[in-house]
């Protein structure tokens, strides 16, 4: 899973696209690592601009744990994956339902520092859904919670996800830098930070 820390987006996508199916084959449909792999791959593919591939990867998450406990981590992964697919399919109401389902697991570990990134992902999905529903004030609150959660998690891999939230910027070595260029959709573009001439 070293691809999580890969600074080059394309290389990270290529590595996970090869590794995730192997996790699924080896785990035999019973692995939280498998679900995490496909979910993270979906995020990276979406930010790379490959929407079809991203949705296809997210839709493979349930296969990683078809017999999951309804209240366990695997069920949480499945609900989060469904929320991801729904929001990018333009189904915001369904997204909010799945986000709430996924929160039933994260709420049990509210005090654990490692849960911050999981909650932030859900708040990011919630914020996007609320924007689609025309509720900008609520969306802003959810997206602000996502940004705070990602910052508190302190994980390099979440940089690509944080770059997709408002007021975030370029991704470099696990950090987001203020964006100078934006995509056609208005989302900050994730790029490597370039070294200025004359500086070492």
pLDDT of residue 131: 96
User: What is the rounded CA–CA span in Å between residue 131 and residue 22?
Assistant: 36
CA angle, residues 111, 116, 36, in degrees to nearest 5: 120
pLDDT of residue 117: 85
Residues 6+ apart with CB under 8 A from 124: 142, 143, 146, 161, 164, 165
Based on C-alpha coordinates, what's the Rg of the chain? Answer: 16
CB 189 within 8 A of CB 183: yes
pLDDT of residue 156: 43
pLDDT of residue 111: 73
Question: In tens digits, what is the pLDDT along the chain, a chain of 200 residues?
Answer: 555 556 688 888 999 999 899 888 886 656 678 888 899 999 999 989 999 999 999 999 888 876 655 557 788 888 999 999 999 999 999 999 999 999 888 887 777 777 888 899 999 999 999 999 999 999 999 999 999 888 876 644 444 444 444 444 444 444 444 444 444 444 444 444 444 444 44
CB 17 within 8 A of CB 37: no
- Residue 165: φ, ψ to 5°: -95, 160
pTM: 0.70
Q: Which domains does the chain have, with CATH numbers?
A: 2-136 (1.25.40)
The alpha carbon torsion through 111, 68, 118, 162 (nearest 10 deg) reads: 180
């Amino acid at each position: 899973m070293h691809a999580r820390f890969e600074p080059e987006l394309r290389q990270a996508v290529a590595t996970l696209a090869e590794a995730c199916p192997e996790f699924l084959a080896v785990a035999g449909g019973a692995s939280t690592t498998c679900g995490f792999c496909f979910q993270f791959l979906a995020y990276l593919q979406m930010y790379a601009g490959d929407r079809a591939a991203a949705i296809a990867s997210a839709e493979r998450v349930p296969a990683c744990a078809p017999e999951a406990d309804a209240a366990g981590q695997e069920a949480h992964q499945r609900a989060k994956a469904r929320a991801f697919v729904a929001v990018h399919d333009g189904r915001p109401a369904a997204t909010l339902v799945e986000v709430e389902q996924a929160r039933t697991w994260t709420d049990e570990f509210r005090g654990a520092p490692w849960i911050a990134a999981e909650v932030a992902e859900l708040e990011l999905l919630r914020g996007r859904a609320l924007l689609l529903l025309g509720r900008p004030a609520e969306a802003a609150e959810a997206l602000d919670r996502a940004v705070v959660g990602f910052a508190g998690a302190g994980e390099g891999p979440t940089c690509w996800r944080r770059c997709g939230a408002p007021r975030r910027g370029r991704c470099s070595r696990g950090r987001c830098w203020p964006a100078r260029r934006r995509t056609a959709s208005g989302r900050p573009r994730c790029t490597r930070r370039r070294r200025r001439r004359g500086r070492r």
